[in-house]
Amino acid sequence: MAAAIDGYLAELDRALRGPRRVKAGLLREARDSLVDATEAYADLGLAPEGAARRAVDDFGEVSRIAPGYQAELALAQGRRTALLAFASLVAQPPIWHLVAWQAAEPDPLPGLAGFLDTLVSWLGTLAVVVALLAVWASGTGVRRLGTNPRRIRLTGIFAFTVAATFSTTGLLLAACSPITGPMALARLPIAVVVLFLPMLLVALNGARCLATARAATTSR
């Protein structure tokens, strides 16, 4: 029984790309279904190996089953990426306000720093709204919008845009900041931990979005 089922699940595993935990859950559900079907055929008098092969045949060829699973994986990756972008963006303002308060930074900031600060505020608000829309589109919005992988691809592009935009503006703000002394030097490690590492994680998940969306498109 195990050989036929394990071989089928291994092939299905190779055909899918996406978040490991979600993928493991899908494979576990497929295994449970195959085992139940095998036991049912065995109760009808089939030999264990024959019952397992019959269950696998009934379940369907991997090429027919994989697209549905891959679409679900793409949605899961899109939702994860959008949630990560949202969380990273929402966490930025209070942290940097605290840093500015500790450094006695003037409010509003003068010159180019003030312009960049206002720009980041507007862009951040817009990006948070887009991230929430992406979370909805890959969650409850699927009922209305369906499972088109193009939306997951757009989520990946959005993630790259967020990472590049806010990393760049963060560097420019640090360079233009009127703060001097020890606090000015402390801004760089703070930016690495608070801004650049989260944005790197957002970009990596954006790349995974593109990969899972491509897999969902080609498996159709």
Please spell the DSSP secondary structure of 68-109, one letter per residue.
HHHHHHHHHHHHHHHHHHHHHHHHHHHHHHHHHHHTT--SSP
Identify the band that residue 101 occupies on the pLDDT scale cut at 50, 70 and 90: low
Q: Could you give the number of structural domains in the chain?
A: 2
3-state secondary structure of 53: helix
Does residue 154 sit in the same domain as residue 192?
yes
Tell me, yes or no, whether 140 and 45 share the same domain. no
| Same-domain pairing of 15 and 81 | no
Q: Per the structure block, which two tokens stand in for 11?
A: 């092939």
Q: 27, 60, 93 — which closes off a domain? A: 60
C-alpha 97: how far from chain center: 28
In the numeric block, which tokens belong to residue 60?
């369907």
CA–CA dist 134, 129 (Å, integer): 9
Q: Residue 93: is it exposed, middle or buried by C-beta count within 10 angstroms (0-12/13-18/19+)? A: middle
The answer to whether 157 and 214 have CB atoms below 8 angstroms apart is no
Q: Is the pLDDT of residue 218 over 90?
A: no
Within this chain, do residues 149 and 177 fall inside the same structural domain, yes or no? yes
> For 109-181, where are the alpha helices, taking DSSP H only?
111-137, 142-145, 149-176
Residues 47 and 117 in one domain: no
Does this model's pTM top 0.85? My answer is no
Q: Would you state the pLDDT for residue 109?
A: 63
pLDDT at 199 > cutoff 70 = yes
Q: Residue 103: how many CB atoms within 10 A of its CB? A: 18
Q: Over the stretch 109-142, which tens digit does the pLDDT of each residue have?
A: 666 767 887 888 899 999 999 999 999 998 888 8
- Are both 120 and 207 inside the same structural domain? yes
Lowest mean pLDDT among 125-129, 131-135, 143-147, 174-178: 174-178
